[in-house]
Structure 1
Amino acid sequence: MPDNIQNESDLPQDNGAANDSTTAAPAPDQDLSTQLAALQARNQELADQFLRAQAEMQNTRRRADEEMAKARKYAVESFADSLLPVCDSLEAGLAHADLSAEQIRQGAEATLRQLKAALERNKVLEINPPAGTKFDPHQHQAISVVPAEQEANTVVTVLQKGYLIADRILRPALVTVTAPK
């Protein structure tokens, strides 16, 4: 007996409802048929939930496929939009036939700055290693090997800039490198 109960009068009293003989127990057949009806209703409810979940999954998959198709179709939209001002600048420069060489040069430089900014906004970055940079075959393509007064296997000159898009090489930089000593 637990410590906090001193005598039988401290025990909870049973009011006898559970042992009341006036409450009739349901007939075994009626109890089983009630249980069967409840189980069939629950089965129908679960089947309905399953069908709804399947339909929702199919709808989600279809929407995702549609979004992927649109993303592929319009992937260059942002990039093209950032290049339109460059196109406008070139057309405006060509519309003026009476410009001096200096004005044309200034316009070309401004247009080049616009183009570079548009490329950078779209994560297209230059690979233009300075002389003396260690040759990296992942970013550079050696066109020739020349003797030079710098450390072996380093960039001497850049013949053509390379470009990265995000972290992927779009085009390696074409470089000349120093010959091993």
Structure 2
Amino acid sequence: MSDNLNPMDGQPLSPEEIEAAAAANAADAQNDLQAQLAELQAKNAELADQYMRAKADVENARRRAEEDVAKARKFGIEGFAESLLPVIDSLDAALSIQNATPEQLREGSDATLRQLNAALERNKVIAINPPAGEKFDPHHHQAISMVPADQPANTVVGVLQKGYMIADRILRPALVTVTAPK
């Protein structure tokens, strides 16, 4: 009941005064709630703006990444193709000679093969050409036949066709003959 006492004189408040005090408290509470609502709406608008900007940034980054991947797919072989151009030039030059001697053809073929091997090496394409006696490796070699030989079993006897790898990936295994078990 102490809430219903006049703070000035300590006398009981009339119903009108109680009602007026209650209305004032309600108005204060409503003003506080409206201020909180306005603050929350402003914060919501700020977060919505940040969200939209972040979403746009992510979409732009995704689009740029897709464009970069498309360009890499389209032009990724450009360096390799560029390194093969001298080989093509050498072959064109060789074919343009009308009466080439066998020695000239051999010399030109050797030079062209060196250019081709250099172009492959620059692009990390490495030949797999195991020497006789090397242990057979099924990850790098493909056995075509087994032959008796004076070597330990499961070793390379000869290479029928070189293999190739790029970085650590096999493009083609070397075709080899291997020694038969004794």
Q: How does 1:1-181 map to 2 (within 5 A)?
A: 27-181=28-182
**What amino acid sits opposite 1:51 in the alignment?**
M
Q: Distance in 2 between matches of 1:152 and 1:39?
A: 81
**What amino acid sits opposite 1:103 in the alignment?**
Q
Which structure carries more helix by proportion? 2
After superposition, the CA RMSD in angstroms is 1.6
Structure 1 residue 147: Cα displacement: 0.7
Structure 1 residue 97: Cα displacement: 1.9
SS in 2 for 1:153: coil
Number of equivalent positions: 156
**What amino acid sits opposite 1:54 in the alignment?**
K
**What amino acid sits opposite 2:100 in the alignment?**
L
SS in 2 for 1:90: helix
SS in 2 for 1:43: helix
Q: Distance in 2 between matches of 1:151 and 1:122?
A: 35
Unaligned 5+ runs, structure 1: 1-26
**What amino acid sits opposite 1:144 in the alignment?**
S
The Cα offsets for residues 11-46 of structure 1, whole Å up to 9 and x where unpaired, read as xxxxxxxxxxxxxxxx44433322321221111001
SS in 1 for 2:119: helix
Q: Distance in 2 between matches of 1:179 and 1:35?
A: 88
Q: Counterpart in 1 of 2:16?
A: none
**What amino acid sits opposite 1:48 in the alignment?**
D
Q: Distance in 1 between matches of 2:44 and 2:146?
A: 78
The Cα offsets for residues 47-72 of structure 1, whole Å up to 9 and x where unpaired, read as 01001101111111111112212222
**TM-score, L = length of structure 2:** 0.80
Structure 1 residue 74: Cα displacement: 2.2
Q: Counterpart in 2 of 1:16?
A: none
**What amino acid sits opposite 1:164 in the alignment?**
M
Structure 1 residue 84: Cα displacement: 0.9
The Cα offsets for residues 126-145 of structure 1, whole Å up to 9 and x where unpaired, read as 00000000001111111111
The Cα offsets for residues 61-115 of structure 1, whole Å up to 9 and x where unpaired, read as 1111122122222222221111111001110111122332222211111110110
Q: Percent identity?
A: 69
**TM-score, L = length of structure 1:** 0.81
SS in 1 for 2:142: strand
SS in 2 for 1:107: helix
